[in-house]
């Protein structure tokens, strides 16, 4: 992490879904943030009106931060958040659609972890270590609204498994040109399913080789994130879904008895012939730097991709907290007998895979002047 000279003094932020798993992580991270100040907490009607410590079933390994202990939780309606320049949403997808739209309509900047707007053609799906260029869609999103918005917008981050794999893929496309195909098998942590989430009877001494909707998300979101923005006849922008260089992605998603940290076995084929060597791949991954870091976002990791040399790393328990989980680990870069190159990716699903990405996106929005 590093800061920059010209960072803002203080920016008030709100957290929606503040008592949930992602909401708790938002609060833990924001309580130590250099300029985001937690100003309002939103949750369901059942929690509204209670002090945060009474409303929450706190499951983090650090205590409830002092500044929110006695904060009164509010309902998720825009009136309670008007003073917030940024609203982080950890809402579940069954309520996120309506609430986030209401907040955008009320001219609030919403950074969402929910899946609801990821496929919206006017909403950027931003992995902050990869495609901050997609912020360019925000003016069009505002303009399409009726009446046109001045400050409000919705920006989402990606599914936690997508985030892990898309960072090294972006680094490799940057270095070696377009990819042609990509096979991914995930071993995902239980925290990816929220709380109460996965019943212990289903996962202790077990693997569940299925996560509802996950493979489709990975196969679709990756294309939106790795793709660019095209401009049509009348100046209308659209996400190009990597369509100039069709990229075939096949994902197999599994749940394993790991608390935190998604491990993914990835194999890729480059368009370029001959493909780069494993050593060239390692170097390109190590050399890759995110815009977020270059622009001085305080939550950006120094090593966007950390490449392990040990033969048996990365491992979720040992490596998930490196750089506070804000970067991505890669190991076992080697040749693949079917495609070109294969490797193992580890990403902390609740840090870079969720709350940290939203916060980084908001930091990027600040740096880019989209939020003042």
Using CB under 8 A as the binding criterion, the count of chain residues that bind its own copies stands at 61
User: 34, 139, 197, 296: which one contacts its own copies (CB under 8 A)?
Assistant: 197
Using alpha carbons, select from 18, 216, 229 the residue that is nearest to residue 113.
Answer: 18
The one-character DSSP state at 87 is E
CA-based max dimension of the chain: 63
- Please report the beta strands in 262-364, taking only residues with DSSP state E, as ranges in sequence order: 262-270, 305-307, 328-335, 341-347
Our finding on whether 66 is near its own copies (CB under 8 A) is no
Residue 249 token pair: 């992605």
Residue 224: is the preceding peptide bond cis (ω within 30°)?
Answer: no
Using the rule CB under 8 A, which residue among 5, 205, 233, 234 binds its own copies?
Answer: 205
Q: Could you say whether residue 32 binds its own copies (CB under 8 A)?
A: no
Stretch near its own copies under the rule CB under 8 A, chosen from 80-88, 147-155, 159-167, 305-313: 305-313
User: Does 183 participate in binding its own copies (rule CB under 8 A)?
Assistant: yes
Question: In terms of Cα–Cα distance, which of 290, 300, 285 is closest to 332?
Answer: 285
Q: Is 6 a catalytic residue?
A: no
- For the beta sheet containing 179-188, the strands, ordered from the edge strand earlier in sequence to the opposite edge, are 248-255, 179-188, 262-270, 341-347, 328-335, 305-307
- Verify binding: residue 248, its own copies, rule CB under 8 A: yes
Region binding its own copies by CB under 8 A among candidate stretches 64-72, 87-95, 159-167, 198-206: 198-206
Does position 201 interact with its own copies (CB under 8 A)? The reply is yes
> If 0-12 CB within 10 Å is exposed, 13-18 middle and 19+ buried, where does residue 70 land?
exposed
Question: Any contact of residue 136 with its own copies (CB under 8 A)?
Answer: no
Interface residue with its own copies among 131, 132, 156, 267 (CB under 8 A) is 267
Q: Which of 2, 4, 59, 244 binds its own copies (CB under 8 A)?
A: 59
d(CA 149, CA 71): 30
**160 is an active site residue:** yes
Q: Site map for its own copies, 145-164, x if CB under 8 A? A: --------------------
Q: Among 1, 82, 207, 287, indicate the residue that binds its own copies (CB under 8 A).
A: 207
Q: Which among 76, 80, 134, 160 is annotated as catalytic?
A: 160
* β 36-43/74-75 pair status: parallel
Min dist CB 312 to its own copies, Å, is 4
Cis omega (within 30 of 0) for bond into 18: no
Tell me: does residue 259 bind its own copies (CB under 8 A): yes
For residue 209, state whether it binds its own copies (rule: CB under 8 A). Answer: yes
> How many whole angstroms separate alpha carbon 292 and alpha carbon 80?
30
Least distance from its own copies to the Cβ atom of residue 180, Å: 9
Q: Does 339 bind its own copies (CB under 8 A)?
A: yes
Neighbours of 7 (CB within 10 A): 15
Query: 372 burial class (0-12, 13-18, 19+ CB within 10 angstroms)?
Result: exposed
Q: Does 210 bind its own copies (CB under 8 A)?
A: yes
CB of 369 to its own copies, least distance (A): 36
Provide the annotated active-site residues.
160, 262
- Residues found near its own copies in the complex (CB under 8 A): 59-63, 181-183, 185, 187, 190-191, 195-210, 219, 248-250, 252, 254, 256-259, 263, 265, 267, 311-322, 331-332, 336-339, 342, 344
């Amino acid at each position: 992490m590093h800061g920059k000279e010209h960072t803002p003094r203080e920016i008030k932020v709100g957290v929606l879904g503040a008592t949930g798993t992602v909401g708790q992580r938002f609060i833990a991270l924001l309580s130590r943030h250099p300029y985001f100040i937690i100003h309002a907490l939103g949750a369901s009607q059942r929690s509204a009106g209670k002090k945060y410590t009474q409303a929450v079933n706190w499951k983090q390994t650090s205590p409830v931060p002092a500044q929110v202990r006695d904060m009164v939780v509010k309902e998720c309606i825009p009136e309670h958040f008007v003073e917030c320049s940024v609203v982080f949403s950890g809402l579940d997808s069954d309520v996120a659609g309506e609430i986030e739209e209401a907040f955008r309509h009320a001219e609030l900047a919403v950074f969402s972890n929910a899946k609801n707007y990821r496929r919206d053609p006017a909403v950027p799906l931003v992995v902050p270590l990869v495609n901050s260029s997609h912020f360019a869609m925000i003016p069009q999103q505002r303009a399409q609204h009726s009446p046109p918005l001045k400050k409000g917008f919705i920006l989402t981050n990606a599914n936690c498994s997508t985030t892990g794999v898309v960072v090294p893929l972006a680094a490799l496309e940057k270095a070696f040109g377009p990819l042609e195909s990509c096979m991914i098998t995930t071993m995902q942590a239980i925290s990816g399913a929220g709380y109460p989430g996965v019943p212990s009877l289903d996962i202790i001494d077990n693997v569940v080789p299925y996560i509802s909707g996950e493979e489709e998300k990975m196969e679709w979101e990756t294309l939106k994130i790795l793709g660019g923005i095209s401009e049509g006849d009348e100046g209308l922008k659209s996400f190009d879904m990597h369509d100039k260089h069709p990229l075939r992605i096949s994902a197999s998603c599994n749940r394993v008895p790991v608390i935190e940290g998604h491990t993914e076995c990835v194999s890729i084929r480059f368009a370029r012939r001959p493909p780069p060597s494993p050593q060239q791949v390692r170097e390109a991954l190590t050399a890759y730097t995110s815009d977020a870091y270059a622009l001085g976002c305080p939550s950006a990791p120094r090593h966007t991709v950390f490449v392990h040399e040990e033969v048996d790393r990365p491992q979720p328990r040992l490596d998930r907290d490196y750089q506070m989980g804000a970067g991505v680990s890669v190991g076992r870069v080697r040749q693949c007998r079917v495609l070109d190159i294969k490797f193992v990716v580890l990403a902390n699903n609740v840090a870079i895979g969720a709350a940290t990405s939203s916060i980084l996106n908001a930091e990027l929005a600040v740096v880019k002047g989209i939020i003042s």
